[in-house]
């Protein structure tokens, strides 16, 4: 026997993405969305947005990075991103509450 459907609250109209973000940070989506009717979808062509930076490294460090990357058969820029991501994650884990875009994230 199916559960009786409940009345969902309407989703407000937002004038900006920031306004919408603030709303969903403070409201439970289950009051507005029937998650039982949700479907899984794949966005296979999405790529994370990136920014180009200029980074000066000592020649010896860059040579070592390139040698390690060559040993693993990956581009050195990709290996550098992996190294940085691992280290940043480790630092966040060891430093307590995480800062997200100017606010503290609860764990």
pLDDT along the chain (107 residues), means of 10: 70 93 92 90 84 94 97 95 94 75 53
Beta bridge partners of 100: 103
Q: What is the pLDDT of residue 107?
A: 45
pTM of the model: 0.49
Residues 82, 47, 28, 2: is their CA dihedral positive or negative?
negative
For the chain, give every domain's residue range. 17-43+56-97
């Amino acid at each position: 026997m199916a559960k009786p459907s409940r009345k969902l609250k309407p989703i407000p109209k937002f004038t900006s993405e920031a306004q919408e973000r603030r709303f969903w940070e403070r409201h439970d989506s289950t009051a507005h969305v029937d998650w039982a009717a949700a479907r899984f979808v794949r966005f296979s062509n999405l790529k994370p947005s990136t920014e180009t930076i200029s980074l000066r490294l000592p020649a010896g460090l860059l040579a070592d990075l390139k040698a390690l990357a060559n040993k693993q058969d990956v581009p050195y820029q990709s290996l550098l991103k992996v190294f940085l991501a691992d280290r940043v994650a480790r630092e966040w884990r060891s430093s307590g509450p995480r800062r997200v875009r100017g606010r503290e994230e609860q764990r």
